Chains A and B, each alone.
Chain A
């Protein structure tokens, strides 16, 4: 099964997919390509809670800092330490190795109404 199957994407280029009891959030391959070389990632602390559309992370390319928004609300249960140490992983593998956070959420059905399926998102941005 392709990783993009069941993946939902926001207009601000975050993705969301179900992983076990939780949901994984990351930055789309399109967004990463637009940003260019990623050199710094700031992630939230485990346990912090965010509502939909709230800024939860910052990703910096050589040129600029970009705020990353929650595609759905929830509580952070895990962060991807590997990308904090190796930000360039985001350029190499945005959809698989370089996810940003995992969350538990109870509002996914209401919050994901405006999200697009991956293929539709790709059509929209290209």
Chain B
């Protein structure tokens, strides 16, 4: 099992530790619901050092990245980022990731912990014939997410004034507590926030300074449990649940992120264009339970006693005070916002209502 450079800090804070994609990670420190509300109202710190960082450089970088994703990477100006999906030739999703343009021919890619090895192998395999250098720095770098409406105040206190903070989906090199690192305005909570990318050996010092200096803003360390409830309220997909090797970005409701005018060829382009034009057989929906029960991953969805879909993510919404989920269902007209379907929980059917996504309005655009 792998440990991040902050493992000792988590143990000292009495975190409950779980196995996540081969990493010993904190699932919670106290109450998941309190941690969730802390991020929505104040500020939370997440150790996401298990995530992968791959740097792509060389004169064919842009051409290479454009081949891998359905987004238009050429549109990125220096220091901007774009949310992407890494696609196979059949249009299905190998991983979802963020590509940051540091400067011309110099990109940073942040990937899911569970997919680092698969993605890296894919990059290398796909790079034949391109003049690119692909460096997996995942084991050398730590990533701390600082999320919540007061995150900007803590980052200001740490040395980066409000005027100098990167804009939404941007990245810059900056000094945080006198330590050089990358600071990006991204996250996985639906709140305003930052992700701080630094060398492993700096992580403990920065983590403890953020906790100490953030006290006046109500900062708390937040585990993977609340990370999941936060991202679900914001309807941010989770690879392995909502996105898999059996789903395309169009089926996953990510058409908004896909370029409709991209001229360059990319893996899966034929399938993506076909689905954009003619629709898909399945679609991702959001739902809320109409009673107090909870739908979980892989529970079945029914309409008129016939199975029409499957839950991919489900859980509680502390903000809404009800239980919510995401599911793939047949792409038919009758399954629309406001429709009432059923989910099978322990052999009994419970009513759910299809609702608009995200469940909770995002507050991350600054």
| Interface set of A (CB-CB < 8 Å, partner B) | 34, 36-37, 39-40, 42, 58, 60-65
Contact = CB atoms under 8 A, between A and B. Distances in A.
Nearest to B289: A40
A36 B294 contact: no
B31 A37 contact: yes
Nearest to B18: A63
B225 A42 contact: no
Nearest to A91: B31
A63 B293 contact: no
Interface string B293-334: 110100000000000000000011000000100000000000
A37 B296 CA distance: 16
B16 A39 contact: no
Interface of B: 16, 27-28, 31-33, 225, 229, 292-294, 296, 315-316, 323, 346
Nearest to A64: B296
B27 A63 contact: yes
B16 A62 contact: no
A39 B294 contact: yes
Contacts of A62: 32-33, 225, 229, 315-316
Nearest to A67: B346
A36 B32 contact: yes
Given A58-B346, A62-B316, A63-B27, A37 B293 contact: no
10 contacts: A34-B16, A36-B16, A36-B31, A36-B32, A39-B294, A39-B323, A40-B294, A42-B346, A63-B32, A65-B294
A65 B296 contact: yes
Contacts of B316: 39, 62
A62 B323 CA distance: 10
Contacts of A42: 293, 346
Contacts of A63: 27, 32, 225
A39 B34 CA distance: 13
Given A62-B225, A62-B229, A62-B316, A40 B27 contact: no
A1 to B, nearest CB: 31
A17 B28 CA distance: 32
B19 to A, nearest CB: 13
Chain A to chain B: the 9 pairs with minimum beta-carbon distance, closest first: A62-B32, A37-B33, A37-B31, A39-B316, A60-B294, A37-B32, A40-B294, A62-B316, A63-B225
A36 B346 contact: no
A34 B16 CA distance: 8
A64 B294 CA distance: 9
A40 B33 contact: no
Contacts of A64: 296
B288 to A, nearest CB: 14
A36 B296 contact: no
Contacts of A58: 346
A37 B16 CA distance: 13
A39 B292 CA distance: 9
A42 B31 CA distance: 21
B293 A40 contact: yes
Contact of B292 (A37, A40, A61, A65): A40
A61 B32 CA distance: 10
A39 B229 CA distance: 13
B139 to A, nearest CB: 28
A36, A58, A61 interface centre (most CB from chain B within 10 Å): A36
B293 A36 contact: no
A121 B229 CA distance: 33
B292 A36 contact: no
A42 B346 CA distance: 11
Contacts of B296: 64-65
